[in-house]
Amino acid sequence: MASAILKRVNASAMSSLVESMRIRASSRAFAAVVVGTDIVSAAPDVALQKARSWDEGVSSKFSTTPLKDIFKGKKVVIFGLPGAYTGVCSQQHVPSYKNKMDEFKAKGIDSVICVSVNDPYTLNGWAEKLEAKDAIQFYGDFDGSFHKSLELNKDLSVALLGPRSQRWSAYVVDGTVKALNIEEAPSDFKVTGAEVILDQI
């Protein structure tokens, strides 16, 4: 009986957590970035950090990658998520893109990028665990400056994650956003999967 009560309490706590995340997200289901935004101009002083091991970081002198090097002259699909090793991100979001790489290539996409508010070393370990590093380029936004510039940031302290990213996806051509999808809540996975963005290319 005690076990059954504990299960009900745990289920109730999880339900409350998800609902809290949903309520907080619904009050800000918008962003500064819209279709037509030039991402490089919107975040002119921002650079991302390509996923790598600590030793690779040291040997590169902790180099970063300017946004123009990521987007300019290229067709890019990019998706953002709350964080490495989290549930929906690991079980659904990244796999949806990993499993559709051939279709992205057939549509002329130069790169598929995953970005989150994590350091590049954590992202590297996560990408390797998901066996996705060869297919998807992973970039860290370690201080959240990229997501803040685009107003795609989200406070997920309710889940003990602190400042993070909303769950979103975009199709970007030569730095200009051609399609943009943002979930109402970080726990949702309805409009940001690979299947949706493929139909928008």
Cβ within 8 Å of residue 126, ≥6 positions away: 84, 85, 90, 118, 138
Residues marked as catalytic: 89
| Phi and psi at residue 48, to the nearest 5° | -110, 170
The sheet carrying 168-173 orders its strands as: 65-66, 47-50, 137-140, 111-116, 75-80, 168-173, 176-182
Distance CA 135, CA 42 (A): 27
Judged by DSSP in three states, 9 sits in: helix
Whole-angstrom distance, CA of residue 167 vs CA of residue 162: 15
Residue 163's CB is within 10 A of a number of other CB atoms, namely 14
